[in-house]
Structure 1
Amino acid sequence: MTFQITVQPSGRTFTAQPDEAILAAGIRQGIGLPYGCKDGACGSCKCKKLEGSVVHGPHQSKALSADEEAAGFVLTCCATATSDVVLESRQVTEAGAFPIKKMPVRVTALAKASPDVMVLTLQLPASDTFQYHAGQYVEFLLRDGARRSYSMATAPHRQAEAPTMELHIRHMPGGKFTDHVFGGMKEKEILRIEGPYGSFYLREDSDKPIVLLASGTGFAPIKALIEHLRFKNIQRPVRLYWGGRRPADLYQSDWVEAQCADMPQLRYVPVVSDALPEDGWTGRTGFVHRAVLEDCPDLSGHQVYACGAPIVVESAQRDYLAAGLPADEFYADAFTSEQDKLG
């Protein structure tokens, strides 16, 4: 027996097995529901259930509270259907979303961008094409079956130059994957990836001004978005707010400044929260998401793309909606670590 899942207002439908998470069923059938961590930790996949019944697997209350569940909200990443279900989600991609593939990749370069950030360049198979939206991510398939997710920092048009992708990896001491990246990983090593995943990408059917918000390595998918904006010659006004604790955390500021020189519509606002006297920092300070509101107290006419630590994304969503941003104009990718998933 299978259940029919209908997504409004698009009208897209797909089927789900009784023991299959709704999100997994949608991905399997090319239905682009919004999601982030896929582990019940970030809340990116939360949407309203209009009809039907579901059962939730383990999840964190910050992703879906008991009150929200009682009000009819579901986390599609850990909800299984017990009847036909109708959901409301405005972030459903068009038919024919890019296929999810598994493929081997070869490490071609490892470059430290800061003491705890590695820029990893991967070569893709020349015989295959890997299609994705700027802002999406891939998952590394580790030997023990574990997975680790990282956003692509390069826009898809770069594949025409060479089948490579760039990832920005922050060292999490004790981390199964990042300890290897910062320790034993060598050029020419073969890894396995799967993707593309994620609903974080530019909505090009709008002419609204864009706010890009990044914390730490949340800059990676934002970099891909900027490359895409430049490639497509999109002239919408764009403000990038990139926050870190120390100036070194803004590890590709020079690259951003170079883009600003060629993109008059792009404005860059770096923000540092914990600068020390020896840093000589003279720029903006404080919480990066608050800097946006200092400059744009009314966000009702904007689109926001936010990426980085879950606390930054959650704070931005709460405060920006209070500043008039329509709920369906906030697009986010919370970088949920394995520690975050443990709650």
Structure 2
Amino acid sequence: MHKVYLANSDTAFDVSEGETILAAAQRQGLNLPFGCQSGTCGACRAQVTQGRVETLGEPPALSPAEREAGFTLSCLARPMGEVHLDLHLPGAFATLRPQLWPARVIGKCWLAHDVIGLSLRLPQSERPLRWLAGQYLDVLTDDGARRSFSIANASGSELIELHLRVVPGGRFANWVAHDMPLRTILRFEAPLGAFFIRGDTRRPMVFMAGGTGLAPLRAMLQECVQRGETRPMTLFWGARAQRDLYCDAELRELSERCPSLRYVPVLSEPDADWHGARGWVHEEVLRQVPDIAGHELYMSGPPPMIEAGKRAFTEAGLDPARMYYDSFEYAYRTFPVANAP
């Protein structure tokens, strides 16, 4: 039996021999962040500040720089004696336990040629759903599967907005786009994930999105504007062509309203009349923010973008502890922990 202590809290728990840290926490009813439970999503990333752990295989979600900085994945890590972990979580996270919820579809519209926006209305409740901007939900389908989507708006209302990419073979998204009637009731589990803004520093923030990876960053920026965030913020949004910038007008208007926010769209296959930034979005970040080491970074998008960003920004001197990411194409596998309200 080994003891695990969580930094910045009074929480400590026992881990049996051969048991992973996440499995032990779940067994004892503790609310630790997790996602796929296979090491691919990085949602359970934690930093070992004291002690040692052994890992069940190579953690694919962690870069060499993250491993050198002492990060591990609690779903794969087994303690070798007493261990102290820093989860880098805000205090509010402990109060946000996932629950099952029903919601009614009240709107859907095409945001781009391959992206559909979905609006869900939550039921009235004495304990309404609250989430940290950047978190996601799992829709429960009739065949017992789950579909994970980042929540694209900030908490504080009875509405949830989702951005679904509609691709050939994407059964759920195609059903939503073409066959699902309005007023359909969907059931989902939320809030999930550990992707949200850390507010314990005054460092300027860089947000980097690829495609529909914009969704959680949009929620973060909405929250920042609502609370009057004064830290400098820059959003870089990478897409192929102008038609893929489905929230361009909204983001330009938001940056005009918020003096601390700058918006930079970046196209990898730009139109002939495009006069903005072009190329790979992570390279544009380094061109415009050469002092990235002094920033906090939030990345959301496809795995190749996330991996390229982690390598480039680490080489530029950014501490992995200041890099937070949501690798958007991985299908998270999570499990209900409570009944619907």
Shorter-chain TM-score category? 0.7 to 0.9
Structure having greater relative contact order (Cα 8 Å, sep ≥ 6):
2
Partner of 1:256: 251
**1:283-303 deviation digits (Å, cap 9, x = unpaired):** 111001111100111212211
Partner of 1:143: 142
Deviation at 1:39, TM superposition (A): 3.6
Distance in 2 of aligned mates of 1:147 and 1:334: 17
Q: Which moved more, 1:124-133 or 1:38-47?
A: 38-47
Query: Which of 160, 181, 187 lines up with 1:186 in the alignment?
Result: 181
Distance in 1 of aligned mates of 2:82 and 2:102: 37
Cα contact 2:40–2:330 (8 A) shared by 1? no
Matched AA of 1:294: R
Q: Which moved more, 1:18-27 or 1:315-324?
A: 18-27
The secondary structure found in structure 1 opposite 2:106 is: strand
Question: After the TM superposition, which residues 66-105 of structure 1 pair with which residues of structure 2 at under 5 Å, given as runs?
Answer: 74-79=72-77, 81=78, 86-94=83-91, 96-105=94-103
Partner of 2:301: 308
Distance in 2 of aligned mates of 1:234 and 1:15: 39
Matched AA of 2:284: A
Matched AA of 2:97: P
The secondary structure found in structure 1 opposite 2:306 is: helix
Distance in 1 of aligned mates of 2:20 and 2:187: 24
Q: Which structure 1 residue ranges, 5 or more long, are not aligned?
A: none
Matched AA of 1:107: V
Please tell me the root mean square deviation across aligned C-alpha atoms, in Å. 3.0
1:41 aligns with 2:34: no
Deviation at 1:13, TM superposition (A): 2.1
Distance in 2 of aligned mates of 1:20 and 1:195: 26
Cα contact 1:12–1:31 (8 A) shared by 2? no
Distance in 2 of aligned mates of 1:65 and 1:323: 15
When residues 61 and 229 of structure 1 are mapped into structure 2, their CA distance, relative to the original with a 3 A threshold, is: closer
**1:22-69 deviation digits (Å, cap 9, x = unpaired):** 335546734444x5544422344344555466563xx77633699999
When residues 71 and 297 of structure 1 are mapped into structure 2, their CA distance, relative to the original with a 3 A threshold, is: closer
Partner of 2:339: none
**1:91-149 deviation digits (Å, cap 9, x = unpaired):** 23427331211111111111110111111101111124001111111111122322121
Distance in 2 of aligned mates of 1:72 and 1:243: 30
Cα contact 1:257–1:268 (8 A) shared by 2? yes
Q: Which moved more, 1:65-74 or 1:258-267?
A: 65-74
Partner of 2:121: 123
Q: How many residues align?
A: 328
Partner of 2:169: 174
**1:139-194 deviation digits (Å, cap 9, x = unpaired):** 1112232212111111113x1xxx11101111132123222222321211111111
Cα contact 2:205–2:233 (8 A) shared by 1? yes
Distance in 1 of aligned mates of 2:65 and 2:222: 41
Cα contact 2:154–2:219 (8 A) shared by 1? yes
Cα contact 1:151–1:167 (8 A) shared by 2? yes
Matched AA of 1:266: L
**1:199-243 deviation digits (Å, cap 9, x = unpaired):** 111112221111111110111111111111111011111111000
1:323 aligns with 2:316: yes
Distance in 2 of aligned mates of 1:243 and 1:70: 29
The secondary structure found in structure 1 opposite 2:178 is: coil
**1:305-324 deviation digits (Å, cap 9, x = unpaired):** 11111111121122112212
Q: Which moved more, 1:282-291 or 1:179-188?
A: 179-188
Partner of 1:228: 223
Query: Which of 273, 289, 295 lines up with 2:288 in the alignment?
Result: 295
Distance in 1 of aligned mates of 2:39 and 2:167: 21
Matched AA of 2:296: Q
Q: Which structure 2 residue ranges, 5 or more long, are not aligned?
A: 333-341
TM-score (norm 2): 0.85
TM-score (norm 1): 0.84
Query: Which of 297, 319, 325 lines up with 1:332 in the alignment?
Result: 325
When residues 67 and 287 of structure 1 are mapped into structure 2, their CA distance, relative to the original with a 3 A threshold, is: closer
Matched AA of 1:102: L
1:29 aligns with 2:23: no
